[in-house]
Amino acid sequence: MCDVQPKLIAWLDRELSAEKAAGVERHIERCEECRSRQAAYEQVDETFDAYCDAVMAAKLRPRIPRWVPVLASAMVAAGALFLIFPRTRVEPPPVLTPTIAAASVPVPVFVQTPSAQEPAPRKTIRKRRVVAPMQVQAANWQPTETAVQIAIPAEAMFAPGAMPKGMNFIAELSIAPDGSVKQIRLRQ
Amino acid sequence: MSDDSVPLALPLLAAGTSEVTTLYRELRKPLLRYLVCLGLTSDEAQDVVQDAFLSLQRHLASDGTQENIRGWLFRVAHNQARNRQTSYHRRFSEPLDGEMDFLTDDATPEQAVLEKEKFRRLATGIRMLTESERECLLLRAGGLRYREIGEVLGIATSTVGDTVERAIKKLAEKCDV
C-alpha cells in the first residue's frame, strides 16, 4: 500500500491543504491502485447517500393505517357477494291484512248510499278489484242480519224434576249483531 | 405541507430575520435526513428540526455568534436527538428491508433487485460500524466539514478524519460495495 492511500478520503472530502491536495493528485495520475481505491470510496459515498435518502423517504412518506386495506377488502368482498347472489324478493302471502279490511269498510257505506254525489276515488276502485272476494262479501253484509242464534231446550229452563209434564219445546233466540234480541221463537 | 414550506410559527418568531427562513429552506431536509437516519421517527425528527430553528431564532435574537450556523443547527439537533434516544432507549435506525419496494417503484425488476442487494449489503456494513463512525458518516453526508463534525460530536478534527476514513474503508472492504 502506498503512502498516499490514507489521505485519499480526506482528499476526496477536500479536507487537505492545497499543497497536499496537489501532491495527491499527481500521485493518483500514475498510481493504478489509488485510482481504484478512489473509485471504490466514491462508490461507497454514492451508495451511502442513496441509502440515507431511501431511509428518509421511507420514514417520511405518509402511512396508510392498517385498517384501511382491511376495510377496503371487506367492502370489495361484500360487493362481490351482492353481485353473485342478487337479492331475492319475498312475496307476502295472499292473506287479507287488517289494513285492507279496514280500507274496505267505506265500501258498504258507498253501496248503501248510491245517491252520493261524489264518485268513488279511483284508488278505492282499484282496491276493490284486488280484494274482490272481500269486497263482495262486504257488499252483501247487512247490519240487521242475525249474528247469533241460540236454541234452548225446555228442560234446560227448569230445575231437575221441576218441569211440568207434557211440556216440550225449544226456545230459539236470535241476537242481532248490536247485542239486542231480535227474535224469540218457540217450536216443538 | 411541502418539504420547503415554512411552518407558521417560524416566520412570526423570526420576523425581521429573513436569514432564518432562508436557512430553514436550505437545511431542513439535511437535518431531517440526519435525524431519521439516527433512528428518530418522522414526527420526532420534524419536532426536533422545528425546535432547532426556534432555538436558532432565539440565539440570533440574543446576539449569539453567527459563525458556522450550519454546524450550530446540527449540534442542537444532534443533542436533542440524543436526549430523545436516551429517553426511549432507541438506537440507530434498522435497515428498512421491508420498505425497499417503495424505493424502487420506478426501476426495472433487474435494477430493483440490484438496488435492493446493494442496500442490503450496505445496511449490513452500517450495522458493523461503531456509533461514532455512523454519526461521522451521517454528518459528512449532510455536507458538514470535518471541523463542523468535530464541533457537533465534541471530538477533534483529526479524530473525525481518522473515524471517517476507518468507516469508509469498512464499508468498502467488508460490504464489497
Note the ipTM here: 0.81
Residue A107 near residue A141 (C-beta atoms within 8 A): no
Tell me whether B145 touches chain A (CB under 8 Å). Answer: yes
| Residue numbers in A near B90 (CB within 8 A) | none
Smallest CA–CA distance, residue B120 to chain A, in Å, is 10
Cell 449540534 sits at which residue? B75
Tell me whether B176 touches chain A (CB under 8 Å). Answer: no
- Ranges assigned E (strand) in chain B: none
| Residue numbers in A near B36 (CB within 8 A) | 55-56, 59-60
What is the rounded distance in angstroms from the CA atom of residue A172 to the CA atom of residue B122?
A: 113
The reply to whether residue A49 touches residue B141, judged by beta carbons under 8 angstroms, is: yes
Residue B63 near residue B37 (C-beta atoms within 8 A): no
Residue B159 near residue B130 (C-beta atoms within 8 A): no
The reply to whether residue A59 touches residue B42, judged by beta carbons under 8 angstroms, is: yes
Give the per-residue pLDDT at B29. Answer: 92
User: What angle do helix axes B131-141 and B18-38 make, rounded to 10 degrees?
Assistant: 140
What is the rounded distance in angstroms from the CA atom of residue B2 to the CA atom of residue B89?
A: 31
| Cβ-nearest to A48 among B32, B96, B137 | B137
| Residue numbers in A near B118 (CB within 8 A) | 47
Residue A171 near residue A184 (C-beta atoms within 8 A): yes
**Is the pLDDT higher at A128 or at A32?**
A32
SS3 helix, strand, coil % of chain B, rounded to 5? Answer: 75, 0, 25
Tell me whether B129 touches chain A (CB under 8 Å). Answer: no
Q: What are phi and psi of B91, to 5 degrees?
A: -115, -170
The answer on pLDDT for B15 being more than 50 is: no
Residue B64 near residue B73 (C-beta atoms within 8 A): no
Residue range A133-167, pLDDT digits in tens: 555 555 555 555 667 888 888 888 878 778 777 77
| Residue numbers in B near A56 (CB within 8 A) | 32-33, 36-37
Tell me whether B93 touches chain A (CB under 8 Å). Answer: yes
Nine-digit cell string for A156? 234446560
Smallest CA–CA distance, residue B146 to chain A, in Å, is 7
What is the rounded distance in angstroms from the CA atom of residue A88 to the CA atom of residue B142?
A: 66
Q: How far apart are the first and last CA of chain B?
A: 36
For range A83-110, the mean pLDDT:
58
Residue range A39-67, pLDDT digits in tens: 999 999 999 998 888 888 888 776 666 67
Searching chain A, which residue's CA lies closest to the CA of residue B32?
A: A56
Smallest CA–CA distance, residue B16 to chain A, in Å, is 31
Nine-digit cell string for B52? 432547532
The reply to whether residue A53 touches residue B33, judged by beta carbons under 8 angstroms, is: yes
For range A69-80, the mean pLDDT:
83
The reply to whether residue A52 touches residue B141, judged by beta carbons under 8 angstroms, is: yes
Q: What is the mean pLDDT of chain A?
A: 75
**Is the pLDDT higher at B162 or at B63?**
B162
